[in-house]
Amino acid sequence: MKAVIFLVLLLSISCSSNPTKKVSFTSLEQVLRSPSSVEGKNIKLDSESLPEKIEKDSFYELIKMAQVKNYEKIVIENKKSDYIKVSTQASDNTVADFIVLIGTNFSEKDELIRKGDYDDLYQTIRRVSWLNFRATINLVASVDDLSAALKNTRPTIIVWTSHGDEQGFYDFNQVRVQNTIFKNASPTVYQFILTSCNGSQAIQNSYKPYIPKTMMYWSWNSLVYHPSYLGNLLNSTANPWSPFENFPEKISLNDF
């Protein structure tokens, strides 16, 4: 079963009798146990529910549990307008997608490899959701999921995390992502972050000729499971990454 998870994942869920009630959360587990709405396996939350700081390993453990329990989708969108935005280009009405596609299996070995990425991604997901991005995580990403994300017509940032070698990177089913997958990418997909082993070599050897000039991309040499790699890109203060860098020129932030 294809399982697409939009942001935070849960252990067990009980619907709130009053979805609009303001609640102060101190842990991620509390957020997950008090979703604003539940529709089947889909959960909708707003960014105001996300705690600024969570216990170490909480996000990693909850993602692993959600994979095992086959939860599908969580959507987190901005519902608060007075947040201090991290980019002067941001607009209260901006709508864009931040899509994380996880191609590693949820075995203990694979999850330990990606633990650092999950820790780094939580703060970034929280940040972009406050900026009115719709933050999504697909926990069992396939080649088809990446293909669909690349065709998204809204401004989009894609993060792909999986195993890889010098010739390519692989999806959850251990299928190699074909080098031509970027050929017909939508011009609205303006950033692609590849976090897989030997990602830079794979892009140079296989994918680069097909990546459109409208898409900015990042990757790393050799092994990338050390927590500092993705964290240094997304959370660095010395050379800060911006979710609005390379935003599609033909799309005005005020249009959303």
Q: What is the pLDDT along the chain (256 residues), one digit of tens a residue?
A: 444 433 333 323 222 333 333 334 456 666 666 555 555 665 666 667 677 766 666 777 767 766 676 766 566 677 554 333 444 344 445 579 999 998 887 666 676 666 777 777 888 888 888 888 988 888 788 999 999 999 999 999 999 988 899 999 999 899 999 999 999 999 999 999 998 889 999 999 999 999 999 999 999 887 665 556 788 888 877 778 999 999 987 655 454 4
What is the structure's pLDDT at 137?
A: 83
Enter the pTM of the model: 0.76
DSSP the chain: ---EE-S---SS----S-TT-----SSHHHHHHS-SEEETTEEEEEGGGS-SS--TTHHHHHHHHHHHHT--EEEEE---S----S-TT--TT--EEEEEEE-S--SHHHHHHHHHHHHHHHHHHHHHHHTTEEEEEETT--HHHHHHHHT-SS-EEEEEEE-EETTEEB-TTSPBPPGGGGTT--TTEEEEEEEETTHHHHIIIIIGGGS-TT-EEE--SS---STHHHHHHHS-SSS---TTTT--TTS-GGG-
- Return the pLDDT at 218: 94
